[in-house]
Amino acid sequence: MEVTETVAIDHGLKKEEFSKICELLQRTPNLTELAIFSAMWNEHCSYKSSRKHLKKMHTKGKQVIQGPGENAGVIDIGDDDAIVFKIESHNHPSFIEPYQGAATGVGGIMRDVFTMGARPIANLNSIHFGSPQHKKTRNLLRGVVKGIGGYGNCIGVPTIAGQTTFDESYNGNILVNAMTLGLVNKNKIFYSKAAGLDKPVIYVGSKTGRDGIHGASMASATFDDKIEEKKPTVQVGDPFTEKLLLEACLELMADNSIIAIQDMGAAGLTSSSVEMASKGNLGIELNLSEVPCREEKMTPYEIMLSESQERMLIVLEKGKEDHAKKIFDKWNLDFAVIGKTTNSKKIELIFNNKIVAEIPIDLLAENAPIYDRPWKKTKLPQKLKFDKDEFKSLKLSDCLKKILSNSNISDKKWIWDQYDHTVMGDTIQKPGGDAGVVRVHGTNKAVAASVDSSALYCFSHPLTGGKQIVCESYRNLISVGAKPIAITNCLNFGNPEKEKNMGEFVECVEGITEASKYLDFPVVSGNVSFYNETKDKGIKPTPTIGGVGLISDYQQMLTMGFKTEGNLVYVIGKTDGHLDQSIFARELLNEKKGPPPTVNLFNEKNIGETVLDLSRKNLIVSCHDVSLGGILIAVSKMCIKGKKGIKINTLKGLTNKYEYFFGEDQARYIVEIPKASLKKVNDILTKYSVHFDELGTVNGQSIEYKDDINLPIEELADAHKYWLKKYMDS
Amino acid sequence: MRSSVIIFPGSNCDRDMDVALKKFGFKNQMVWHNDKSIPKSDLIVLPGGFSYGDYLRCGSIASKSKIIKSVIDFANSGGLVLGICNGFQILTETGLLKGILQQNKFLNFICSNVFVKVKDKQNKYFKDLKKDVLELHIAHNEGNYFCSDDELKSLEDNNQIAVTYCGEDGAENETTNPNGAIKNIAGIFNKNKNVLGMMPHPERMIDKYLSGEDGSLFFKNILDNFK
């Protein structure tokens, strides 16, 4: 086929990009070369719209061993232990084919982690679906959950936490973000930078098939009516092979045979070989006739673009080939020497003894286009003036039950029952808490992780929303007694070529950066998913934050369920009663306007450190942060989890009970305090100058507040626990 | 007491089992599926996971693996063989245990704590166990035990039903049956009661920070009965 501008456009390149390629090469590329350019220059691989803004992120910290730019980020957790972690999107494929899309999302992120030498120890996910009433939602949800479970369960890595939301903006573009944490000795971390000339380049894992061709380009475009036709671009996963690949790689990593290693993810062999060579400032020569293929007569074009799963590319020390092959033979995996590193600084492809492509590496990496796209600021919406007389017709207890069974608040047990969350024998906090917690095997340490996003806040005001999610993640970790260390982010947005969407991206990133800097909570890895748009309708901006924290003695971990009758319950942090953008406003007043709650970073940090201090001194026995839904929802969850009630005090100086109980002000926690600790707690709260309310006392089997609320815990639990199951069964 | 845990490609509870056995004082070793023989053992464990990717049928390829002949010989000579989850599936595929494990009734993978009733204590696993109801943990997609009427009758007649799903109070009924297993069966013995297969994972319940501690009772009891 002759390469023309039309062919280039069919490959997802822009007209100007094609002219630039011809100019840089000083000739027209052949079809294979064009395919390589299209794979490397698309949004998904090149970050061409986002790179300029991502550079500003806060990525350094005392405990950061590796920030963004590698397969995953790495943090130091002491005693030579390090945690490798990253979150990644698999949105486009999951909408087209939910089971395989979600499954390979999980497979891909686990490979990113074990590529660095770490054994995966926990998985998390953040999944977002259209309105529950939308005809596709139920099947997409079922498929995604089965896909995530099918892959993670088989590998034997526990899924310890997650987040599921429903919003009509995802009707045409669901989001599937998967996160993995791995454990590695900090002196045995593997990187993707090739080094040394004439070193063998090894292909290991599954054979290459025709699945997933153009996957990365598909993920860099919006959807239209013909998405069914894109099914062949979705990869097909085989978790069994991945489990073998994991064990084989870790076995080979036990000695010093590997110089560099990179998994074949988006854009397969193309991006993995180019990235390794580019980082090492080398050239690479690949003989494509040596690539193990699943199907007959595969062309260089197909081999270079295939996104078949469970494959790795390794640059090995010379002379270690036999040793390495033995290990991969033991695990019944393909092993082939397919090339070598060179000093040409080019990628050279040979097929049937002929050179079929030859491109200088820097044209694919450093010279890839970078765009400074125009963007528009989002103004802070005006605060609403609620008609408080209207509230009076609402009974507090009815409001509470209604919110507890809201699709975004209700219990997600139906989902996490399908994920193996206890394999590996170290899960000490299961899904359903503020964060999942796993012990660092064989030590007293434990690692906490949580995933969060707040699309409603980000849509209303991206700058505030960006800050808020980082704070939410920070609070969730502190609520289980962990010291927050670092975050990974998955930035899900609409079409960057639209000023509004681009503006949402820029301002969310700004918010994330500001908060992570202030809280010393750096970003160490992540990815960007643009073009989450169908027929001109984009998603609400949905940056997802995966936070990781450390509990130095796992016996100090906190959970949210109330523990002992007679203990006191405090709300730490001040409640102003911010109802704009709250679930209460949406669900009971049908009011969707107004600004998100203000984020005060000083308060977040000060109050967070206070609560952490209380937990380190063993002065509190349960803890939960106040977020979506407000105080009454938070306290109900603590009752349901602990199977104990609460008698709420008549609160002094309360101006409006609806605002107090359902307001979504930030920087607040609810803690349970044994009477014996009370004085010490009060002293510490005074020392930090932190506002607190004496909310009530753990008592009986009901939640009680004056004459307004008297609800048995069982009734609350029924409202909370069964919405999703009923929905899925209906 | 010496134990051996067999690792098949795709096993994923092998390490957990190793940790549990060693915690209670077993001298455990790991055995690779391609090995021809098993070191001298008093107990052989087939761990949970997805041996050979569960391709064809759960446990079926493992039941034809190189090592399995030694396991069968060991069982036939009276040695203790314990299969947990995928290990139970493998044991039914080898014919050492009767029946099959079908997909769960509601077609979903289930990961959850369950209560099981110990139905027989005349055996080396549960003899003198202080509790009648244990809280254990399941994590499977194919745990729905089924067998023919004749097989069921013979299991019942010979007291080969080891554990059944029940409530905290021991009630065995449809609501306490997580996967649709016939007669709430969670685990069974062979005729000589030296081979035990069960879906619940005792190795995930071995300290108070995990989902529970009743798994500890199970392992300690095996050791106590051996002494």
Residue A487 has pLDDT above 90, yes or no: yes
* β-pair type (A568-572, A692-698): antiparallel
Write down the pTM of the prediction: 0.95
Tell if the CB–CB gap between A420 and B210 is shorter than 8 Å.
Answer: no
Identify the residue whose tokens are 């050791």.
Answer: B223
Q: Is A568 helix (H, G, I), strand (E, B) or coil?
A: strand
Q: Is A134 a catalytic residue?
A: no
The per-residue pLDDT for A76 is 97
Burial class (CB in 10 A: 0-12, 13-18, 19+), B157: exposed
Instruction: Measure CB to CB from residue A425 to each of B9, B16, B49 and give the nearest one.
Output: B16
Q: Could you tell me the pLDDT band of residue A404, with boundaries at 50, 70 and 90?
A: very high
Q: Hey, what amino acid is at A377?
A: K
> What average pLDDT does the segment A194-204 reach?
94
Shortest CA distance from B205: residue in chain A: A425
Q: Please tell me the distance in Å from A125's CA to the nearest CA on chain B.
A: 17
d(CA A511, CA A201): 42
Q: Hey, what amino acid is at B95?
A: G
Identify the residue whose tokens are 């059944």.
Answer: B164
Total domains in chain B come to 1
> What average pLDDT does the segment A217-223 reach?
69
Cβ atoms within 10 Å of A86's Cβ, excluding its own: 29
Per residue in A566-616, pLDDT (tens digit) is 999 999 999 999 999 999 999 999 999 999 999 999 999 999 999 999 999
CATH code at position B205:
3.40.50.880
* β-pair type (A669-673, A568-572): antiparallel
Read off the tokens for A416.
Answer: 């996490």
Tell if the CB–CB gap between A422 and B203 is shorter than 8 Å.
Answer: no
> What average pLDDT does the segment A286-305 reach?
93
Tell if the CB–CB gap between B12 and A155 is shorter than 8 Å.
Answer: yes
Q: Is B80 helix (H, G, I), strand (E, B) or coil?
A: strand
> What average pLDDT does the segment A271-288 reach?
94
Say which residue, A204 or A265, is predicted with more confidence.
Answer: A204
> What average pLDDT does the segment A502-519 reach?
97
Residues from chain A contacting residue B111 (CB–CB below 8 Å): 153, 416-422
Residues 6+ apart with CB under 8 A from A285: A339, A340, A341, A342, A344, A347, A348, A349, A350
The per-residue pLDDT for A211 is 82
The H or E element spanning position B215 is helix B214-226
Q: Could you tell me the pLDDT band of residue A420, with boundaries at 50, 70 and 90?
A: very high
Average pLDDT of the residues of chain B = 95
Average pLDDT of the residues of chain A = 94
The per-residue pLDDT for B211 is 85
Residues 6+ apart with CB under 8 A from A494: A501, A504, A530, A531, A532, A533, A538, A539, A541
Per residue in B68-77, pLDDT (tens digit) is 999 999 999 9
Interface predicted TM-score of the whole assembly (ipTM), two decimals: 0.95
By residue count, chain B amounts to 227
% pLDDT > 90, chain A? 88
The per-residue pLDDT for A212 is 76
Q: Hey, what amino acid is at A538?
A: G
Mutation choice for A interface testing from B34, B109, B205, B214 by most A CBs within 10 A? B109
* β-pair type (B2-7, B27-32): parallel
The per-residue pLDDT for B9 is 95
Tell if the CB–CB gap between B210 and A241 is shorter than 8 Å.
Answer: no
Beta-ladder partners of A542: A492
Residues from chain B contacting residue A239 (CB–CB below 8 Å): 50, 53
The per-residue pLDDT for A392 is 85
Burial class (CB in 10 A: 0-12, 13-18, 19+), A624: buried
> What average pLDDT does the segment A452-459 reach?
96
- Tell me the residue range of the domain where B207 lies: 2-226
Q: Could you tell me the pLDDT band of residue A282, with boundaries at 50, 70 and 90?
A: very high
% pLDDT > 90, chain B? 95
The per-residue pLDDT for A481 is 97
Residue A659 has pLDDT above 90, yes or no: yes
How far lies A484's CA from each of A123, A338, A600, A667, A690, in Å? Answer: 18, 43, 18, 15, 20
Read off the tokens for A225.
Answer: 């009516």
Q: Could you tell me the pLDDT band of residue B107, with boundaries at 50, 70 and 90?
A: confident
CB A713 within 8 A of CB A586: no
Count of CA atoms in the C-beta half-sphere (13 A) of A501: 21
Beta-ladder partners of A537: A534
Tell if the CB–CB gap between A240 and B49 is shorter than 8 Å.
Answer: no
The per-residue pLDDT for B36 is 82
Residue B151 has pLDDT above 70, yes or no: yes
Per residue in B169-203, pLDDT (tens digit) is 999 999 999 999 999 999 999 999 999 999 999 99
One DSSP character per residue, A240-269 reads HHHHHHHHHHHHHHTTT-EEEEEE--TTHH
> What average pLDDT does the segment A405-426 reach?
96
Tell if the CB–CB gap between A243 and B10 is shorter than 8 Å.
Answer: yes
Q: Could you tell me the pLDDT band of residue A218, with boundaries at 50, 70 and 90?
A: low
CB B12 within 8 A of CB A156: yes
Instruction: Tell me which of A11, A53, A90, A421 is the catalytic residue.
Output: A90
Residues from chain A contacting residue B50 (CB–CB below 8 Å): 153-154, 156, 239-240, 243
> What average pLDDT does the segment A171-178 reach?
96
Range scoring the smallest mean pLDDT among A646-655, B4-13, B87-96 = A646-655
The per-residue pLDDT for A406 is 94
φ and ψ of A284, to 5 deg: -145, 135
Per residue in A48-68, pLDDT (tens digit) is 999 999 999 999 999 999 999
Per residue in A622-633, pLDDT (tens digit) is 999 999 999 999
Residue A366 has pLDDT above 90, yes or no: no
Q: Hey, what amino acid is at A304?
A: M
Q: Could you tell me the pLDDT band of residue A220, with boundaries at 50, 70 and 90?
A: low
Q: Hey, what amino acid is at A10?
A: D
Say which residue, A357 or A653, is predicted with more confidence.
Answer: A357
* β-pair type (A175-185, B43-46): unpaired
Mutation choice for B interface testing from A106, A110, A121, A153 by most B CBs within 10 A? A153
Residues 6+ apart with CB under 8 A from A581: A456, A457, A460, A592, A594, A595, A596, A597, A664
Range scoring the smallest mean pLDDT among A355-369, A562-576, B72-86 = A355-369
Residue A215 has pLDDT above 80, yes or no: no
Q: Please tell me the distance in Å from B138's CA to the nearest CA on chain A.
A: 9
Read off the tokens for B30.
Answer: 């790991």
d(CA A231, CA A283): 34
Identify the residue whose tokens are 């939308």.
Answer: A134
Instruction: Measure CB to CB from residue B211 to each of A154, A238, A422 and give the nearest one.
Output: A422
Q: Could you tell me the pLDDT band of residue A216, with boundaries at 50, 70 and 90?
A: low
Residue A217 has pLDDT above 80, yes or no: no
Count of CA atoms in the C-beta half-sphere (13 A) of A295: 12
Q: Could you tell me the pLDDT band of residue B122, with boundaries at 50, 70 and 90?
A: very high
Identify the residue whose tokens are 């100019």.
Answer: A23
Mutation choice for A interface testing from B111, B203, B210, B214 by most A CBs within 10 A? B111
Tell if the CB–CB gap between A240 and B209 is shorter than 8 Å.
Answer: no
DSSP conformation class of A643: T
The per-residue pLDDT for A265 is 83
